[in-house]
């Protein structure tokens, strides 16, 4: 395999899914460039968590990109005027950030073209997906089609493959698989309203999914609840 | 028509295509939000041009969004180590910016969701398109499919339509149509290496297409060549 196609771009949020996704890409022998986004999320501890995960995994390069989606407003994750719900809700939740994965993947694609990466890894999950439309398999398939048409690489006969190794896994399966690959989940933060040091609320949708995942997997939960 | 679906997001580059695209959207009775991107392009006069076009058109709001694509490198338009060619070239040119339209449209989509816009206007053109893969009709169709799957609006039964009114027009036809709608092309800058005040080189690919367009349209060329 050429050194070119051996590069991968991995989206790293600081949460447990993307940390597992990175470990899987590395286990496949890929040299990983990781990207995190500063999009005005309330919880800045996510970015610290992503940096710790990238350092622990000894990635080739970790980039933090400043976005301006937060400025646009419209989500409980970026707009302090909207409350983060602590009960399970129906439909698309208020924590949905407009077009978030589309913006993230667009940047990942630009990064893949520049670094000559043959793949992009994103830790989306269709089971425990919290109701976000841009985590579904049909969305991923549509983005792959866009990649094939959008890029110089695609037009010139190369390919950039969008990889979603977690798409069909339950939270418990993700945790088991990452634990086997040596992921230290103590570095990761899932809480939608984590405090500055990453202390979790234990009550939001994301905390509930995570807690249940560790419990179902039979793995000790390293989460620090505040 | 509700005030919601009467909103449109229009991508404004400062060039003549997007200025014409805005005029067409307004002629269709839409209330336009315009977006420009600061992506480290060499020519900052593009952003001044976009602002002048937006002001002249009295848009609802004009936003300039700072991107970081330029940081990634890889294009003659953002990387000063790569020379802008002054001869016609074959294939995808070095002025191609990785994933540019994908990143632009992703932001436009976020903005459309937040403003409740029913459409996104982009002035891509399949004829005089300088060989960029992300200006082709099949690329636009793939992005429309992505929009339908990606968004809360799409999932909840609404729709955001990606409009490309210039896609089949020649440069001369674009100029004629904009002239009829009262676009002042003196505000626009097309040159890949315009000086700080918007003075054009007259030699790059983009200058050559523009010059020929005015000549073919039989419209006086207001471009200020330096």
> What is residue B100's predicted lDDT score, i.e. its pLDDT?
84
Q: Mean of the pLDDT values across residues A135-160?
A: 84
Numbered residues of chain A with Cβ closer than 8 Å to any chain B Cβ? 65-66, 68-69, 72-74, 91-92, 96, 98-103, 105-107, 109-111, 113-114, 133-134, 136, 138-139, 142-143, 145-146, 149-152, 154-156
Q: Distance, in angstroms, between A113 CA and closest chain B CA?
A: 6
Residue predicted with more confidence, A25 or A193: A25
Contact B182, B23 (CB under 8 A): yes
Which pLDDT belongs to residue B90? Answer: 56
- Domain architecture of chain A: domains with CATH: 7-217 (3.40.50.620)
Identify the CA nearest to B18 among candidates B107, B122, B126, B164.
B122
pLDDT score, position B2: 39
Q: For residue A1, what pLDDT is reported?
A: 35
Given a cut of 80, whether residue A43 has pLDDT beyond it is: no
- Name the minimum distance, in Å, from the CA of A202 to any CA of chain B: 26
B105: helix, coil or strand? helix
Per residue in B16-58, pLDDT tens?
A: 999 999 999 999 999 999 999 887 766 678 899 999 999 999 9
Q: Chains A and B: how many Cβ contacts under 8 Å? A: 126
Higher pLDDT, B50 or A150: B50
Whole-number pLDDT of residue A115: 86
What is the per-residue pLDDT across A62-87, written as a single tens digit (0 to 9) for each? 988 887 665 555 555 555 555 655 65
CB burial class (10 A; 0-12, 13-18, 19+) of residue A204?
A: buried
From B110, B143, B149, residue closest to A72, measured CB to CB: B110
pLDDT bin (cut points 50, 70, 90) of residue A3 is very low
pLDDT < 50 stretches in chain B: 1-4
> Across residues A7-34, what is the average pLDDT?
96
Across A84-94, average pLDDT: 57
Mean pLDDT of chain A: 85
Are residues A69 and B113, on separate chains, in Cβ contact within 8 Å? no
Give B-chain residues touching A153 at CB under 8 angstroms: none
Average pLDDT of A193-213? 90
Instruction: Say whether pLDDT at A146 is over 70.
Output: yes
- pLDDT score, position B72: 59
Which whole number is the average pLDDT over A195-200? 88
Task: Return the pLDDT at A73.
Answer: 53
Task: Specify the 3-state DSSP secondary structure of B34.
Answer: strand
Check residue B3 and give its pLDDT. Answer: 38
Q: Which tops the pLDDT comparison, B176 or A136?
A: B176
Query: Which of A74 and A192 is assigned the larger pLDDT?
Result: A192
Cβ contact, residue pair A107, B114, below 8 Å: no
Which chain B residue has the Cα nearest residue A146?
B142
Ranges A36-50, A104-118, A161-175: which has the least confidence: A36-50
CB contact (8 A) between residue B110 and residue A100: yes
More reliable by pLDDT, B151 or A182: A182
Using the predicted structure, report yes or no on whether residue A153 has a pLDDT greater than 50.
yes
**Strand blocks (E) in chain B:** 7-11, 31-38, 61-66, 119-121, 161-163
Among B122, B104, B115, CA closest to B65: B104
Please tell me the predicted confidence (pLDDT) of residue A38.
Answer: 86
Confidence (pLDDT) at A175: 97
In the β-sheet with A31-38, what is the strand arrangement from edge to edge? A61-66, A31-38, A7-11, A119-121, A161-163
pLDDT above 50: residue A28: yes
- DSSP-assigned beta bridge partners for residue B36: B64
């Amino acid at each position: 395999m050429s050194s070119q196609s051996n590069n991968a771009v991995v989206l790293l949020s600081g949460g447990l899914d993307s940390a597992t996704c990175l470990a899987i890409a590395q286990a496949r022998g890929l040299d990983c460039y990781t990207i995190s986004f500063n999009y005005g999320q309330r919880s800045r501890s996510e970015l610290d968590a992503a940096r710790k995960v990238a350092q622990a995994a000894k990635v080739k390069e970790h980039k933090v990109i400043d976005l301006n989606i937060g400025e646009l407003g419209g989500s409980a994750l970026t707009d302090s005027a909207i409350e983060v719900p602590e009960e399970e809700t129906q439909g698309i939740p208020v924590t949905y950030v407009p077009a978030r994965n589309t913006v993230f993947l667009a940047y990942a694609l630009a990064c893949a073209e520049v670094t000559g990466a043959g793949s992009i890894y994103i830790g989306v999950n269709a089971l425990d997906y919290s109701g976000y439309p841009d985590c579904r398999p049909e969305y991923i398939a549509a983005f792959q089609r866009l990649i094939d048409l959008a890029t110089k690489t695609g037009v010139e006969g190369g390919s950039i493959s969008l990889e979603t190794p977690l798409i069909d896994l339950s939270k418990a399966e993700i945790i088991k698989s990452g634990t086997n690959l040596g992921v230290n989940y103590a570095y990761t933060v899932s809480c939608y309203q984590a405090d500055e040091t990453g202390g979790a609320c234990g009550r939001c949708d994301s905390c509930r999914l995570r807690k249940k995942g560790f419990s179902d997997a039979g793995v000790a939960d390293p989460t620090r609840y505040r």
